[in-house]
Amino acid sequence: MKRRKEASEGAELVAVDSGWLLDQFRQEFGEFADGEVHIARAPGRVNLIGEHTDYSGGFVLPVAIGHDVAIAFSARTDRNVSLYSCDYHQRTQFSLDEILPSADARWSNYFRGVAWALEGCEYKGKVELKFSGNEGELRLCGLDAVISGDVPEGAGLSSSAAFEVASAISLLAAAGIDVALINATQSRCGLELRRWIALACQHAENSFVGVNCGIMDQMASCMGRADHAVYLDCRNLRHEEVELGLGRAEAALVIYDTGIRRGLVDSEYNHRRQEVELGTRMISGALRRDDIRTLRDIDIALFDEIKGILPSTVARRCEHVIAENERVQGGVEALRRGDLRAFGDLMWQSHESLRDLYGVSCPELDMAVEIAWKTDGVLGARMTGAGFGGCTVSLVHLEALPHLMEALPDAPMRYGAVQPKTFVVDVVDGARIEE
């Protein structure tokens, strides 16, 4: 059975069981000696506040969630990689000496891209990448791997980043990087390695897969800590762990997956990024200020003075990003005070901005947030992720959980949509190799 007992009441997703995954590995690759196979796990994330700010060098506040991508792998003596996806029921192979995208097994392009980024391979040659603790050029070795996960795809919970990070730590462990270093989350060297992994995974998604994502998803998967949010400065990758205190406050995080899916490569995501980049260039040019590199460098007061020079749509996009950065900082201060109600108010405001200014919500997301708004005991709710479908996240007092979960619809609003799901998420530690 591909199941384990959920820690949180109301959680409906089933996580990948290690024993089950090892059985799948045996079926695909035969028996193995004890100690030769490892399991890498990387969690998905939900962003509590700070949406569409990461690619503008802004602030975000995600948490790693107790649903992940798991990879059982064993190192090879050659440079060949053989992957089997339990979820797609598909096997694919490639050589680390010629890493090219697959048209038949597109899911594998995330793994391929990570290998390409880690080694610094480009189609025209090899670029050296170094990191602390590894002298000279990193050279990967081949591996056999089976992959499965319980992070819903296309739902805004960062299934792609979870897959990328799990792929990265699998490849590094197979190449001989010390597992203790990979799993280190508090030491300087461990944090440096995790930042490097996050950047390599982002590079893979940007340049190999073709999605211009920011750095938040990968950093959340790498840097998550139980019962803490990751307060991340996307410009310099400095982060702070901010305690949520959900247990103390008798509160929980509830995800509502609308079942609406979108493909990031073909969606409006890249277009939104282009709009805010255009707005930044126009403002910087009008003010003749070279120090304005992203919308992070503009406060709301200055924006109100200058926004008239922008096309109306671009102005709305920029206003959201600038105000959202301020909401993140306000949310962190609220958490430090233990004021979950104030934090929830900022979540409502964030959703309204994403709906009205950034234009990335949809009727299903708006409906779910409206239901949460009308349910006593819900402190805040908003869409989360890139938008155009996917999920909402709600901050809920425990006594209100049954009422909210009963009120949220369990049937698709659109033909062909995935069945909606409502579940409580645990806030967990980041990526690791099981020991």
Enumerate the active-site residues. Answer: 217
Element (H, E) at 126: strand 125-126
Distance CA(239)–CA(326), nearest Å, equals: 17
156: DSSP letter: S
Q: Give strand pairing partners of 65.
A: 427
The SS3 assignment for 68 reads strand
Nearest Cα neighbor of 162 from 270, 253, 62 is 62
Q: Measure the CA–CA gap between 195 and 204, rounded to whole angstroms.
A: 14
**β-pair type (143-149, 80-85):** parallel
Start-to-end CA span in the chain (Å): 22
CA-based radius of gyration for the chain: 21
Query: Would you give the DSSP letter of residue 23?
Result: H
- Nearest-5° Cα angle at 162, 210 to 132: 90
Transcribe 77-117 into DSSP letters. Answer: SSSEEEEEETTTTEEEEEETTB----SS-GGGHHHHHHHHH
Q: Give the pair of three-digit tokens for residue 14.
A: 């089933």
Taking each helix axis as running N to C, give the angle between helix 216-223 and helix 159-174, from 0 to 180 degrees, rounded to the nearest 10: 60
Give the three-class secondary structure for 44. Answer: strand
Cβ of 28: how many Cβ atoms within 10 Å? 16
**Strands 143-149 vs 121-122: parallel, antiparallel or unpaired:** unpaired
**Residues in contact with 89: Cβ distance below 8 Å, sequence separation at least 6, in sequence order:** none
Within 8 A by CB and 6+ apart from 244, the residues are: 63, 227, 228, 229, 335, 427
- Provide the 3-class DSSP secondary structure of residue 258: coil
The one-letter amino acid at 387 = G
